[in-house]
Amino acid sequence: MAKQVWRKCSNINCDIHGKRIKVATSCTNCRNCGTPLVDAPGPFKKYLPIFLILTVLGAGGIAMQFCLNEKSNSHELQIIKKAEERIAIAEQKQREAEMTAQNAVNELEFFRKRNIKPKREVSIVGIGSCANFELPTLFTDKTVIDRTEPVRVLRQDAPLYPDATSTTPVKSLDFDTILLPTRQLEQRIEVKEMGVKAPLGWIDKHELLCNFRPLFEKGVARKALIKTPIGAESNFSIKASHSPNEDECSPHRPCGELKSWPRFTVYFIFAEDRETDRYLLSQGYNLTTGTRLPLVGWVKGENMIPWNTNLGIRPKNDSWKEADTEIITGYHTLEDAKQNKAGIKLLSGNIWYTYELHVPVLEKVDGYYHVIAPNTSVSVKECDKPFECRVMDFYIPMDAQKIQEEMMMIEQHIDRWIKLLARISQARGGSVQKKREDFVELLIEEIQGVLGDPPISLTVNDKTALQTILERHKSVLPMREQSPLLQYSVADIWTMEGCELDRLLEWVTSIRNVLEKVLGSPELKISFELKDYTDECLGMTDKGKRLKKMVSYPEGKDRGGKSGPSQLERLGPDSNYRYGHTFRSVTLYWLPVEFLP
């Protein structure tokens, strides 16, 4: 067989120009056009390793090198075919890469022309966002949202989409933009601007804040204060961000500078991003349309002092005739407290009834109150120097003779307690069994009314303490520790002796009267004593022994122990001395824990 070589036609106008053909070594001209052939090395070299080198060049081309000996067979042709297929795949991938790059350029140009920032990899706000919020919908159409309260944008440059499935945004939204939700589908919500009929577009649920009240923990609104590091300069402040994952501000609204002075400022926590340890703060408790209070922004956890209780304290001596005669000392650390080192000084007196805020308690630890307080020995209203009024945490020894524990409540909380207690008080008269039945029935109804939907299942056999049941649900009423009423379970009330039930009913009625006086005359002092019962109650439980008889003081002593609170003494010389003060559009009360059931 004649020796063969690979050659190709050199005529660019020839039909087979550029194609390799195998011809005898004696064949020098193209049989198609007669033009001289040029050598075209074959793709393989038999018995040698096969090298396939694909290099993506700067211009996007693919370089390839093949070697082959003089002889070829069908096996080699199959290898050639496979190699050519691999080349085609590589070329296709290169074209796709070029197209992707071009699409990215086009997308950036699209965003630039429409003033839209491209979507970034961001952390997902889980706690507080609409992603974990059950929006009310129409019974006939679960996609239509039945709600009048607005939602707010959680981060700067949140993408707005034209529909529920699109991946290309049409616009970016500013942080804290107020919108009205209209429909929901999968993980997106359709929104519109306030006062506008036409929908604006769709936005991911995790980009929106559905809560219009703070996050709750065991029935208590989560709050925080800005922390002032020890040794900080007088101009120390932190900047709140408009995004949870980075320091970013809206071009239309500067990020706020937060200081712990000159005001002892409490912020409410509305959302939490655990990946970045940032918290969304607001000065307002209620973010419905009526208030229009702006969100403050996202603040790092290291810059905050969280306050997740409703508990506070003040000096117990509240006499305006003996003001400042008793000083309560707080210490920077527990070790300082044990060594009795110098610390913060809290003055006694009725001046505390003029303050919007008392001393918040973070926790109780080792016989001390861990509290937040302004670093001043004067008052929060007189703070004018940063070193006097920096917010810091302290430890104050627990002393029932010197310290008054209080619960922070809003007027709505007190009103709901009054209504609940008033209903239960109706379980009077008739036989012991009738009073038990009425008490349990009314109690279950009222607890269900407080908790709302979904309904809870309470029966006469339920042995769970009422306080535990209420603490499992968010946004419930503030409760004192070891509540004489809520220590009981439904089963306890159903089986208790008649005399213990009568004492419980008397307790409920007395506390209701106290709370009614607080709302009716907040500038009048309520004074009473809690005394042991003198009559015997056979079969009374240990819980029943904690029930005390409320006796007014000092009038009660003169009138033979008449039950009920006194209302004759004023808290101070004018109406500024009162239990409740207006605080950011709500009336805030600091009530002794003994005022709660």
Instruction: Among 8-12, 37-41, 74-78, 344-348, name the most confident range.
Output: 344-348
CA distance to 72, 144, 302, 332, per residue, from 138 (Å)? 76, 6, 43, 55
65 or 546, greater pLDDT: 546
569 or 96, greater pLDDT: 569
Q: What is the 3-state secondary structure (H, E, C) of 507-524?
A: HHHHHHHHHHHHHHCCCE
Strand locations in 417-545 (E) = 528-531
Model confidence at 595, pLDDT cuts 50, 70, 90, reads very high
What DSSP state is assigned to residue 206? Answer: G
CA 381 to chain centre: 30
| Residue position matching structure tokens 């003081």 | 553
The proportion of the chain whose per-residue pLDDT surpasses 90, expressed as a percent, equals: 29
Structural element, H or E, at residue 101: helix 74-113
Q: Which of 38, 51, 49, 44 is nearest to 72 (CA)?
A: 44
428 or 168, greater pLDDT: 168
Say if pTM beats, i.e. exceeds, 0.75.
no
Question: Taken in order 466, 467, 472, 474, is the CA torsion positive or negative?
Answer: positive
Residue 410 has pLDDT above 60, yes or no: yes
Residue 128 has pLDDT above 80, yes or no: yes
Burial of 130 (0-12, 13-18, 19+ CB in 10 A): buried
Query: What's the start-to-end Cα distance of the chain, in Å?
Result: 112
Residue 427 has pLDDT above 90, yes or no: no
Residue 202 has pLDDT above 60, yes or no: yes
| Residue position matching structure tokens 């290309």 | 168
pLDDT tens-place string over residues 329-355? 888 888 888 888 877 777 788 888 998
pLDDT tens-place string over residues 531-577? 999 999 999 999 999 999 998 765 434 444 444 544 468 888 999 99
Model confidence at 152, pLDDT cuts 50, 70, 90, reads very high
Q: Are the C-beta atoms of residues 25 and 4 closer than 8 Å to each other?
A: yes
CA distance to 142, 165, 420, per residue, from 206 (Å)? 19, 15, 37
What is the reported pLDDT for 388? 43
